[in-house]
Amino acid sequence: MLSHLCLWPVTMCAEHCSFVDCSVHITQVSAVPIEDHARYRFLINTDGQAASWRLAKLLAMGSVVLKWRSPHIEHYYRSLKPGEHYVDVDQSDLLAALDTLKQPEQEQRLKEMAANAQRFAYRCAHSHLRCMCPCLCLCLCVCACVYRVE
């Protein structure tokens, strides 16, 4: 999961803390195969030059998706609701959002959000899910009703 954050750690540190005494520690790791994303409690979706094609896949994982605010959209984005299917974040509130989401009293809300996102992905974003590899489809079938905490 942290490999996706490596697109902007220097910018984030420059804005939120000094380079010498940075309280945000981001470790770059090797790329995580999409089928392994289902092991994480939180998944961050960021755009590049256009809308991220990964969002439908992340919503289907059964994890809580933190979606970066962006003007880029795909056809199903208009049906998504922040707080119901994903958490809406950007660099100004990502860390605060994570701190809030990690609180024990948020557990039930997170389970519901992950389940809503997964149902949405299967119902409304299915054309994107067909592109997934067979091992990911098997992983999603096995993990469909399980909410993982890591």
% of the chain with per-residue pLDDT over 70: 65
pLDDT (tens digit per residue) in 21-65: 445 666 787 888 988 988 999 999 988 878 888 899 999 999 999
% of the chain with per-residue pLDDT over 90: 43
> Hey, where are the domains in the chain?
33-143
Helical segments of 4-106, H only = 9-16, 55-59, 94-101
User: What pLDDT is attached to residue 134?
Assistant: 46
Mean pLDDT, residues 78-91: 94
Q: By the 8 A CB rule, do 66 and 45 touch?
A: yes
Q: How far apart are CA 27 and CA 36, in angstroms?
A: 18
pLDDT band (50, 70, 90) for residue 141? very low
Q: By the 8 A CB rule, do 67 and 88 touch?
A: yes
pTM, full prediction: 0.68
